[in-house]
Amino acid sequence: MAKEKFLLYMLAGIFSFQAIVFGAGLYFCTKSQNVTEICPNIGDRYEQTFNVMIATTLALLTGTALSKKE
Protein backbone atom coordinates (compact mmCIF):
# COMPACT_ATOMS: atom_id res chain seq x y z
CA MET A 1 0.00 0.00 0.00
CA ALA A 2 2.87 2.39 0.65
CA LYS A 3 4.08 2.27 -2.98
CA GLU A 4 0.66 3.05 -4.39
CA LYS A 5 0.15 5.90 -1.96
CA PHE A 6 3.56 7.36 -2.81
CA LEU A 7 2.89 7.10 -6.55
CA LEU A 8 -0.51 8.73 -6.18
CA TYR A 9 1.12 11.59 -4.27
CA MET A 10 3.71 11.85 -7.02
CA LEU A 11 0.96 12.02 -9.63
CA ALA A 12 -0.83 14.72 -7.64
CA GLY A 13 2.46 16.60 -7.30
CA ILE A 14 3.06 16.41 -11.04
CA PHE A 15 -0.40 17.79 -11.79
CA SER A 16 0.12 20.60 -9.27
CA PHE A 17 3.53 21.42 -10.71
CA GLN A 18 2.04 21.45 -14.21
CA ALA A 19 -0.65 23.89 -13.17
CA ILE A 20 1.90 26.23 -11.56
CA VAL A 21 4.29 26.16 -14.53
CA PHE A 22 1.51 26.60 -17.07
CA GLY A 23 -0.03 29.43 -15.07
CA ALA A 24 3.31 31.21 -14.73
CA GLY A 25 3.98 30.74 -18.44
CA LEU A 26 0.64 32.18 -19.40
CA TYR A 27 1.07 35.08 -16.99
CA PHE A 28 4.46 36.08 -18.37
CA CYS A 29 3.36 35.56 -21.96
CA THR A 30 0.36 37.82 -21.55
CA LYS A 31 2.54 40.52 -19.99
CA SER A 32 4.73 40.71 -23.10
CA GLN A 33 3.98 42.90 -26.07
CA ASN A 34 4.54 40.31 -28.81
CA VAL A 35 2.89 37.16 -27.52
CA THR A 36 3.23 35.21 -30.77
CA GLU A 37 6.98 35.93 -31.02
CA ILE A 38 7.90 35.29 -27.40
CA CYS A 39 5.58 32.39 -26.57
CA PRO A 40 4.81 30.39 -29.70
CA ASN A 41 2.89 27.17 -29.20
CA ILE A 42 2.94 27.29 -25.40
CA GLY A 43 0.27 24.58 -25.23
CA ASP A 44 2.33 22.17 -27.33
CA ARG A 45 5.43 22.72 -25.23
CA TYR A 46 3.42 22.25 -22.06
CA GLU A 47 2.03 18.95 -23.28
CA GLN A 48 5.39 17.60 -24.48
CA THR A 49 7.19 18.59 -21.30
CA PHE A 50 4.97 16.72 -18.89
CA ASN A 51 3.68 13.73 -20.88
CA VAL A 52 6.70 11.63 -19.97
CA MET A 53 6.40 12.33 -16.24
CA ILE A 54 2.71 11.44 -16.17
CA ALA A 55 3.16 8.32 -18.31
CA THR A 56 6.01 7.07 -16.14
CA THR A 57 4.12 7.59 -12.91
CA LEU A 58 0.99 5.89 -14.25
CA ALA A 59 3.05 2.99 -15.59
CA LEU A 60 4.67 2.52 -12.20
CA LEU A 61 1.29 2.72 -10.52
CA THR A 62 -0.30 0.12 -12.78
CA GLY A 63 2.81 -2.05 -12.66
CA THR A 64 2.61 -2.10 -8.89
CA ALA A 65 -1.07 -3.03 -9.02
CA LEU A 66 -0.44 -5.83 -11.53
CA SER A 67 2.43 -7.32 -9.56
CA LYS A 68 0.17 -7.70 -6.50
CA LYS A 69 -2.37 -9.76 -8.48
CA GLU A 70 0.19 -12.37 -9.49
- What are the residue ranges spanned by the domains of the chain? 2-69
Q: What does each of the 70 residues of the chain score in pLDDT, given as a tens digit?
A: 587 788 778 878 888 888 898 888 888 888 877 766 767 777 777 777 778 777 877 787 777 656 665 5
| DSSP annotation of 58 | H
> Rounded to an integer, what distance in angstroms lies between the CA atom of residue 70 and that of residue 11?
24
Please, are residues 38 and 59 in contact by the beta-carbon 8 Å criterion? no
Tell me how long the chain is. Answer: 70
Q: Is the pTM of this model over 0.85?
A: no
